[in-house]
Amino acid sequence: MYLTFSDSVKFADIARNWIGGSGYGNTFSFWIWGISELIRGKIFSVFGIPPVMPVSIAGFFKIFGVNDFAVIATSFFYFILTLIFVYLLGKQVFKSKLVGALSTLAVGASYDLIHYATNGASESPFIFEIVAGMYFASLKKRWANVVTVLLLVLMYFTRPQAFIYIAGIILYWLLTNFKPKKAILVFVGLIVVGLFIDRFVLFPLAGKYFTYSVIGRGFYSSFNQSSVASDALRGAAGVAGGGITQTLKNIFYNLYNFYKLLPQIISPYLFAIFAVGLFLPPTHKASNFAKATMDKSEGQANPQTAFKIASVFIVIVTFIVAAASIPFYRYLHPIIPLVYILAVGTIVEIINKLSSSAKATEGQANTKFQILNTRYKILVSTLLVLFFGVGQTLGVLLLDSRFERNTHNVGKPPVYVELSKTLKENTEPDDVVITNL
């Protein structure tokens, strides 16, 4: 069992050094000015790398030992937690166990999320934090609010683009607890406060205590079209885009590419159903208990409406930020659970409306008809989710994999394993190796 994701190897190296007593750092560094001074130490400083994934891997190293399996087990553990909270969130938002179960099926069948889960990628804990944060934000309980805040903090220390989802979850919480107008005003105010904190607190502290400035990172990851955006991930110096005009060009062209290549990013069928569902009225009203115990709940956004607004905000901002910076698909994939939950909810609602129309046509339904009607809704909804959300992944795993086996050394040790063996045979542990790989 080997890793095929470079980031996971980086996180694993940090975790290994940490539990081995060498400190929190990496044994690898890109070529930078002054590296001759840095190599005097045993490890390179990595305080710019969010710590959640390395620390999580270190915990699994304690259980399974320092090996690739422990790295994979870390991300797979978070993937399982994600599926649990997808079920809970779908059930909570749509008040339907069927929506929760089918949402779990659709998200669990996402090829990209499976790939992250089986390769130690930090997307796995990040996506778990997003889904769990949305779920706890929907509960309207004090203890759940505390858990939500803790998850937002963890998100900041997991992925640099966490600010998008932190803002989206805060917007969702505000919409479920205040009237829409007040929620929007408070949200805008919090954005302004957040910008000041980023500029005057996080920016000076950048590189210390694992903190980073969102604005600073955004500026560094903005590139002009004469350079390759992903060069920064390979150690190249950032080249600032040529002002607002250049940035707008980047956004336009990259959004077009996202639109053109949508099937490579997310299920185009479920994404289309997600878009349709945004215009459907909510399927349930606020609970009678909420109305009886919370007078201030009058005028609040319906839970489904609040979830739709927050999800649309997250999806739009995610696409724009990725288009303005580094347009990698992996930076878009965290939206998958939110899109799929709304898409599945829309499918179930459409089937419910069709079955209700049939029921009205038949007149007063008897018990046997109601049972058949329920089975019909479950069967048709399941078949549609299997067709729109699971079929493509099955095709990749069962059909495309044959081509993959014929064109790649599937199952054989990857380059990083063979290279490590070669280096071990030809170098001493304290040697410094410089390579152009």
Spatial separation of the C-alpha atoms in residues 421 and 15, rounded to whole Å: 20
Confidence tier at 429 by pLDDT (50, 70, 90): confident
pLDDT at 293: 36
Spatial separation of the C-alpha atoms in residues 3 and 393, rounded to whole Å: 20
Domain ranges of the chain: 6-426
Top mean-pLDDT range of 42-46, 357-361, 369-373: 42-46
C-alpha Rg value of the chain to the nearest Å: 24
**Mean pLDDT of the region 315-337:** 94
The residue that leads in pLDDT, 194 or 45, is: 194
- CA dihedral in degrees (137, 139, 145, 149; nearest 10)? -30
pLDDT at 186 over 60: yes
pLDDT at 34: 66
Assign 26 to helix, strand or coil.
Answer: strand
Range with lowest mean pLDDT among 186-200, 304-318, 347-361: 347-361
49 — alpha (psi -120 to 50), left (phi > 0) or beta?
Answer: beta
Pairing of strands 25-26, 44-45: antiparallel
Quick: pLDDT tens for 62-115: 999 999 999 999 999 999 999 999 999 999 999 999 999 999 999 999 999 999
Instruction: Find out whether 7 and 122 touch, Cβ atoms under 8 Å.
Output: yes
Confidence tier at 39 by pLDDT (50, 70, 90): low
pLDDT at 40: 66
**Mean pLDDT of the region 114-119:** 94
Range with lowest mean pLDDT among 22-31, 77-86, 130-139, 334-343: 22-31
pLDDT at 219 over 90: no
pLDDT at 180 over 80: yes
Q: Is 410 exposed, middle or buried (0-12, 13-18, 19+ CB in 10 A)?
A: exposed
Q: Sign of the C-alpha dihedral, residues 329, 334, 336, 338?
A: negative
Range with lowest mean pLDDT among 31-35, 68-72, 166-170, 360-364: 360-364
Range with lowest mean pLDDT among 88-97, 158-167, 243-252: 243-252
- Mean pLDDT across the chain, nearest whole number? 85
pLDDT at 156 over 50: yes
**Mean pLDDT of the region 346-370:** 72
Query: Model pTM greater than 0.85?
Result: yes
pLDDT at 358 over 50: yes
**Mean pLDDT of the region 183-203:** 94
pLDDT at 296: 45
Q: Read out DSSP for 172-206?
A: HHHHHHS-HHHHHHHHHHHHHHHHHHIIIIIHHHT
Spatial separation of the C-alpha atoms in residues 304 and 179, rounded to whole Å: 14
